Structure 1
Amino acid sequence: MTSSQNDRSEAQRRDPAPSRLAYKAHRLWLTPVFRAFLRVGLPVFAILMATGWYLANPTNRYAIGEKLTNMKRSVQERPEFLVKLMAVEGATPVVDNAVRQILPIDFPISSFDLDLERMRAEIMKLDVIEDADLRIRPGGVLEVALTERQPVILWRHDGVLDMLDAGGHRVASLLDRNARSDLPLITGAGASDAVPEARALLDTVGPLRGELRGLIRVGERRWDLVLKSDQRILLPTEDPVAALEQVIALHQAQDLFGRDLSVIDMRNPQRPTLRLGDTAMKELRRMNGFEIEEVSQ
């Protein structure tokens, strides 16, 4: 064999082309996803495996939980997060005392341990409270700002005397009418649902306000006005204010309530009806009897 032939056979044996496996491995290494997996995914996977193995031990989990709890408490109990007292604003002494009883807080306490929404919900259960706003002021003060309902009328029902606000919401109960003699009185089933209409009538009653004993809700649909002289004004279901204005105008023109009348029936405003009192009825009967006797003679 010649030297040239030997060189060609040696070159064939030393072929620099990679093998199929080496070629595929090289191509895989050049893939961005594979390289990212080796750089990031594989270390993360190893860390997760090690963490899972560590947390599989209940003792280790308990120790970590205790450590985190201690760290959390150490932050929450720092002086700047402590609430030292509660200030109730806009409340009467009775309501102030009631709020403190339903919120028995043991001060000092961390602000993180105060559920302000739950506390507000508890306060709003009091009938007298219209609105409540809770916030923690600088200096460790829990401020409870209250808006109380203002009673404008009394409602007598089922042997109970309740104070109602302008919307008919119960404020509180009374044991004695004289305790709030300044408030007008309503009674009857469904009267609390018609407080705005009752107030409109009270604003219209004008010169009769001092003579008014109260308003009676009849059939949950209309009002009767009762005066101290036991005279009664029967108002219609529709537009009772206009009917009452008509009665007031008639009184101012003819001193209607100075007469011996027991009932002024305005249920049909187009045909008002007057019912005489007992004395006037007796006198009327006497006069009619006298006239009959004169004719018979």
Structure 2
Amino acid sequence: MQQVGPAISGGPQRQGGRVLNRASKRRKADPAPSRWSYRLQRLMLTPLFRFSLRLGVPFALTFSLGLVYLSDEARRTELQDVVAEMRANIEERPEFMVHLMQVDGASEDVASAIHEIISIKFPVSSFDIELSNIQKTIADMNPVSSANVHLQPGGVLQVMVDERQVAALWRTHDGLFRLDKEGVYIGIALDRNNYPKLPILAGDGADAAVVEAQELMATAAPLGSRLKGFVRMGARRWDVVLDRDQRIMLPKDDPVRALERVIALNQVQDVLERDLARVDMRLAHRPTIRMNENAVQELWRIKTTAVKVPDNE
């Protein structure tokens, strides 16, 4: 008897001329990433991209929110008021307040001038004091060589001053002025008697040769009270001015040694005690003495009134 029905077989079945294979319907997944997935993975391995993602995005978001918040003028004003109030509460605390200024190392006149120039109304917060500006202002004063300004505990603004020392007096058409050893102008000398041991300098360029004038002053010490001062001639050499309108004209080079020769000669022969007007030492090999007009006239009188030799009869 013949069996009717589909044949059961382990082989492939045919339908409409095509072979159906169930295994072909189940394809294996491709393990390789897609193109966009591959690009994203490579991008995540870039340090700059990771840094931008970790910090840049939050910063940009915060910045955008801040701009939106501050776009309102009322909010900006409110925020500024809050910041100003917080700052004032900190700066005006007692430990940050300065109550007085103390000046050390300066004379009374210079200290008074500093207090007048640095016109600070105490008490004041230390945050409102510009120490560098105060120090520069004080250091620029003529009598001050250098200054150091700092805050001391207890609310004290301390100013340490190195004051210039007067080395000479400089006489000009405008008056008598004080100079330090470098020729820096210090101030007006109100009274010559306040500086009896200082030389008086005059002439163009005298303020630029104070050191040399001090050396001449020390050399001329044996002249005592006869010494009146030093005059700079042609901004290149010195004349030593004595009383009785006498002058010692010194050379440009080595003036100290030339003055020593004149003083030695005076100690031996009392040259400067005679009726002389000038002792010219500008030529070291040929010193010259110029007599006063009265002395010259007296010399001519002596010559003309000298006893004449009688004529031979």
Q: Is the TM value for this pair above 0.5?
A: yes
Q: 1:105 to 1:159 in 2, by over 3 A?
A: closer
Q: Distance in 2 between matches of 1:38 and 1:282?
A: 110
Stretches of structure 1 that go unaligned for 5 or more consecutive residues are none
Q: Which secondary structure does the structure 2 equivalent of 1:208 belong to?
A: helix
Q: Distance in 2 between matches of 1:219 and 1:73?
A: 63
Letter in 1 for 2:94: P
Alignment-derived partner of residue 35 in structure 2: 24
Q: Distance in 2 between matches of 1:97 and 1:41?
A: 58
TM-score (norm 2): 0.84
| 1:264 equivalent among 238, 254, 279 | 279
Q: Is the 8 A contact 1:128 1:148 kept in 2?
A: yes
Deviation sequence 1:7-56 (CA, Å, 0-9, x none): 135325xx5348x9x72343244332478355554434322322232233
Deviation sequence 1:122-162 (CA, Å, 0-9, x none): 22332111111100011111001111111121111014110
- Residue 106 (structure 1) shift: 1.2
Q: Percent identity?
A: 38
Q: Which secondary structure does the structure 1 equivalent of 2:134 belong to?
A: helix
Q: Distance in 2 between matches of 1:110 and 1:104?
A: 15
Q: Which sits farther off after the overlay, 274-283 or 254-263?
A: 274-283
Deviation sequence 1:53-83 (CA, Å, 0-9, x none): 2233333333333322322232222222211
| 1:207 equivalent among 222, 241, 245 | 222
Alignment-derived partner of residue 294 in structure 1: 308
TM-score (norm 1): 0.88
Q: Is the 8 A contact 1:202 1:209 kept in 2?
A: no
Letter in 1 for 2:145: E
Pairwise CA RMSD? 2.5
Aligned residue pairs total 292
Deviation sequence 1:201-250 (CA, Å, 0-9, x none): 11111311321011111122111111113221111112111111111111
Letter in 1 for 2:210: V
- Residue 278 (structure 1) shift: 4.1
Computing the radius of gyration over CA atoms, which structure comes out larger, 1 or 2? 2
Q: Distance in 2 between matches of 1:173 and 1:39?
A: 70
Q: Given the alignment of the two structures, is residue 277 of structure 1 paired with residue 292 of structure 2, yes or no?
A: yes
Letter in 2 for 1:118: N
Q: Distance in 1 between matches of 2:58 and 2:187?
A: 69
Letter in 1 for 2:159: V
Q: Distance in 2 between matches of 1:159 and 1:46?
A: 72
Alignment-derived partner of residue 9 in structure 2: none
Alignment-derived partner of residue 2 in structure 1: 13
- Residue 6 (structure 1) shift: 5.0
Letter in 2 for 1:131: S
